[in-house]
Structure 1
Amino acid sequence: MSVFQLSVGAQCYDWGKLGLDSKVAQFAQCSPEFTVNEAKPYAELWMGTHPSLASKVFKTGETLKAHLTLHPELLGVKVRAKFGDDLPFLFKVLAIRKALSIQAHPDKALAQKLHRERPDIYKDGNHKVRANSPQPGFTHPIPEMAVAITDFCGFCGFLPVEKIAEYLSFVPELTELVNKPIAEAFRMAVTEPQPTYETVEACLRDVFTRLMSAEDADVQRQVQNLIARYEDGQAKPAEEGVKDLAIELNKQYPGDVGIFCVFLLNVVKLHAGQAVFLKANEPHAYIYGDIMECMATSDNVVRAGLTPKLRDVPTLTSMLTYKWGPADSQIMPPVKYRTTKATTIYDPPIEEFSVLMTCLKAGENETHEPIDGPSILIITEGGGRLVWTEKDGSQQEEALDKPGIVYFAGAGVALEFAAGENGITVYRAITEVP
């Protein structure tokens, strides 16, 4: 069969939404091995071949990775030639109750180095780029993408340097942690008549590194000063936009240095259907909301704030690109997908993956033409039917009767979606190599 249902699993991390308040738990109920516990935080639903939580063929219990090994033609000729005999992406649903860590993902070379030197911490020798690629010398890091399915907020990349310089000029708690000479050097670099990119970049690196490396006692004292000032109504006008977020982050992670990232990182807010494209080696942290996330097959994360887990500040601060820009530069608008009527594509400038979103009203139909690559799809709202034609000419049909049902579709198969009485919303991660 070219198209078949998957059984998928949920990851429980502290920041996830609890019990059936989590879309992850709601969706995971479609898999027979899942039982919900209302006290547990269900954070991520994983759809793919990653060994940490591999998806399985629903009818047989065989792992998707094992099935693809036996049937590599499902991946398509071009995808196999480019990425090897495995899925080049990991598709997820995230349900975010409180902020994730300030983090970034290593490229291939760094991922392998970290795994070799500290395998107890960095257990995955893979990376956010070309998993199991037949081109092992390729080291360019690949970003990830998040599509909001509810209202979403997150840190994404560095603020424009002029805004950071402004904060450093009047937020005393930040300046104390960064160190006044470093803060002043940054402000001078930014305000030069013709500042060089290299100089500003180096100064931004110094500011972020100094902040994230500050002594815990100093951080806690300055967080206390900052929050006390805000709660006393002494926030300056330019701080009003971040004041409430700083207070909320302190409730979640009291005294954490990541709270000061409100002055360094963009706060991006999305409505359902909007997407953010996270460029390579940029700091980010999801704050709240529900999203579809797609990335290359890896779970490597380097953290430095807003987390009870291990922080690797030297690695994080050395690996970042220190690019800056406005928040809207992170947002990637969807565009109409080929000749479809109700499907949009979120298409980052990479070959590993794109994401399709199909929204149909009751009684409507939509056809996706065949693609020369694998895909995974999930129903997030409503229901209906999925129809396709196998290569032997036989027509197949499956019920998509509730949110959370997940299917794999092999290369070269056209899919038709028919909406039921409540309409249907489908997200589909695809790989197609030109």
Structure 2
Amino acid sequence: MTAVFKIIPTTQKYDWGKIGLSSKVAQYASAANLPGFTLDENAPYAELWMGTHHTSPSRLLDSPSQEKLSEYLAAHPELIGPSVTERFKGEGAAEGNLPFLLKILAIEKALSIQTHPDKETARKLHAERPDVYKDANHKPEMALALTPFQALCGFLPLPRIADYLVDTPEFAALVPQAIREQFLQVASTEDSADLKVKQALKDVFSAVMTADASLFQPELEKLVARYKSGGAKPSEKDVRDLVLRLDSQFPGDIGVFCAFLLNHLSLHPGEAIFLAAGEPHAYVSGDIVECMATSDNVIRAGLTPKLRDVPNLVAGLTYNAAHASKHLVEPRSFQASTHSTLYDPPIPEFSVLRAVVPSGETETHPPIDGPSIAIVTGGKGTVVWGSREQLNVSEGDVFFVGAGHEIELVAAGGDALVVHRAFVEGK
């Protein structure tokens, strides 16, 4: 048994993915010569999955039978570590399942207006609709930009939504007058956590998302025509291009109106956002590293051809209204490392390291008391551990690191070695 080894991720094709080699998913799969992967330059490569989720599990590269990672870890529990097994007792760690799932996403078209359930809601939905909600776990997640990335993320501050209700008649037309007036009354309050304020926001959001097509589609047509003719008001300048982009991708979809309800943010490579359960969001464009609790539960309500579950989405949101900066993950240095940055969201299931090791240099990661999965997103080099055991890696390679092992990342070639490493600790 070795503590560090390559694994085979899986690729997912969804219609919102980037086409062919414009997708980081396809680039990594091609560069790594993934077994069974054949590039289709006309296919949308949307996601690369790295983990033990039963829907699309990773396998060992050097296993003759391409053994599932979960099976191997169940047979070698020391690779997960006793503290992680104890911490996530009852959630599958003893059976070789990791508490996190690492992904690469390549987004050409906006993903759905969606949220992820908390644990209680996930158990309920899985029991009621196992064909749709395929596991009973929650799905807090973090998105770390590889390329310029845009997203809708969390509710706008209440005064900003109020401005749109006043200045954008097509949006206001979807909200009954009594609900609109109540919202405008409370929107100036400084206590966005007040239950009355949250209810007013919920009433507005619910009115929009449940509006009949006979009402919202003509209003959306008027809105798009006004924006295309140059009629955007000063207060709408920051939302005009987004509305037109979303409508071009999903014509006549109610989700376009979420541009007036949710924060629109742009991230540079190396910046990240965290989305707890119950936070509405939609990824708009770009390539990201995404990490989440091991789950595939998504509640959708717009901008999607997939099943929409508006009642459960409306019921499950937190209705926290705040500036987009609330969702940013502040990176910090990782222990005594020189070239690594830690992204540590406020949940136990995962953290992510981003290592950028200049050519010819070495970065040491001290032992972590839990398992890791890492993907090389740039350059090439060597992973060194134990009694100077070595694993050569290059762009697209995915490797597992067992609990309690120090590793060295040695950059070779002319470019920096860039590694994104997701891990969980037992403490």
TM-score by length of 1: 0.93
CA distance in 2, matches of 1:380, 1:24: 10
Query: Given the alignment, which residue of 91, 102, 106 partners 1:95?
Result: 106
CA distance in 1, matches of 2:354, 2:166: 44
Query: Given the alignment, which residue of 55, 76, 81 partners 2:81?
Result: 76
CA offsets 1:219-269 (integer angstroms, 9 cap, x no match): 211110100111111111010001011001000000111111111100111
Equivalent residue number for residue 418 of structure 2: 425
- Equivalent residues of 2:86, 2:426 under 8 A apart: no
Match of 2:17, as an amino acid? G
Q: What's the C-alpha RMSD, in Å, of the aligned pairs?
A: 1.3
Shift of 1:333: 1.8
Equivalent residues in 2 for 1:276-355 (5 A)? 276-355=273-352
Match of 2:389, as an amino acid? Q
CA offsets 1:257-313 (integer angstroms, 9 cap, x no match): 111111110011100000111122100110000000000100010000111111100
Query: Given the alignment, which residue of 242, 246, 249 partners 1:249?
Result: 246
Match of 1:229, as an amino acid? R
Query: Unaligned stretches of 5+ in structure 1?
Result: 129-142
Match of 2:119, as an amino acid? K
**Secondary structure of 2:356's match?**
strand
Find out whether 1:65 has 2:76 as its counterpart: no
Match of 2:271, as an amino acid? Q
Equivalent residue number for residue 138 of structure 1: none
Residues 395 and 196 of structure 1, relative CA distance in 2, 3 Å threshold: closer
- Equivalent residues of 2:279, 2:317 under 8 A apart: yes
Equivalent residue number for residue 58 of structure 2: 55
- Equivalent residues of 1:189, 1:195 under 8 A apart: no
Find out whether 1:33 has 2:16 as its counterpart: no
Moved over 4 A (4+): 192-196
- Equivalent residues of 2:192, 2:320 under 8 A apart: no
CA offsets 1:62-114 (integer angstroms, 9 cap, x no match): 00011011011111111000113221100000000010000011122211211
Equivalent residues in 2 for 1:57-206 (5 A)? 57-60=60-63, 61-83=66-88, 84-85=93-94, 86-128=97-139, 143-191=140-188, 197-206=194-203
- Equivalent residues of 1:378, 1:407 under 8 A apart: yes
- Equivalent residues of 1:368, 1:416 under 8 A apart: yes
CA distance in 2, matches of 1:16, 1:194: 39
Shift of 1:191: 3.4
Shift of 1:193: 8.8
Query: Given the alignment, which residue of 415, 428, 434 partners 2:407?
Result: 415
CA distance in 1, matches of 2:264, 2:232: 18
- Equivalent residues of 2:375, 2:399 under 8 A apart: yes
Shift of 1:124: 2.5
CA distance in 2, matches of 1:40, 1:46: 17
Equivalent residue number for residue 388 of structure 2: 395
Query: Given the alignment, which residue of 21, 44, 48 partners 1:45?
Result: 48
Percent identical pairs in the alignment equals 51
- Equivalent residues of 2:133, 2:296 under 8 A apart: no
Equivalent residue number for residue 2 of structure 1: 3
**Secondary structure of 1:243's match?**
helix
CA distance in 2, matches of 1:145, 1:125: 19
Match of 2:106, as an amino acid? A
**Secondary structure of 2:416's match?**
strand
Find out whether 1:369 has 2:366 as its counterpart: yes
CA offsets 1:42-76 (integer angstroms, 9 cap, x no match): 10000000011100010110000110110111111
CA offsets 1:322-369 (integer angstroms, 9 cap, x no match): 001001121112101000000000011221110000001110110000
- Equivalent residues of 2:138, 2:277 under 8 A apart: no
Match of 1:148, as an amino acid? A
Residues 309 and 81 of structure 1, relative CA distance in 2, 3 Å threshold: same
Residues 120 and 342 of structure 1, relative CA distance in 2, 3 Å threshold: same
CA offsets 1:138-161 (integer angstroms, 9 cap, x no match): xxxxx2111001100001100000
Equivalent residue number for residue 229 of structure 1: 226
Shift of 1:196: 7.5
Residues 365 and 184 of structure 1, relative CA distance in 2, 3 Å threshold: same
CA distance in 1, matches of 2:192, 2:11: 48
CA offsets 1:141-196 (integer angstroms, 9 cap, x no match): xx211100110000110000011111111111111112222111100122369888
CA distance in 2, matches of 1:34, 1:429: 24
TM-score by length of 2: 0.95
- Equivalent residues of 1:96, 1:286 under 8 A apart: yes
Match of 1:99, as an amino acid? A
Query: Unaligned stretches of 5+ in structure 2?
Result: none
Q: How many residues were matched structurally?
A: 415
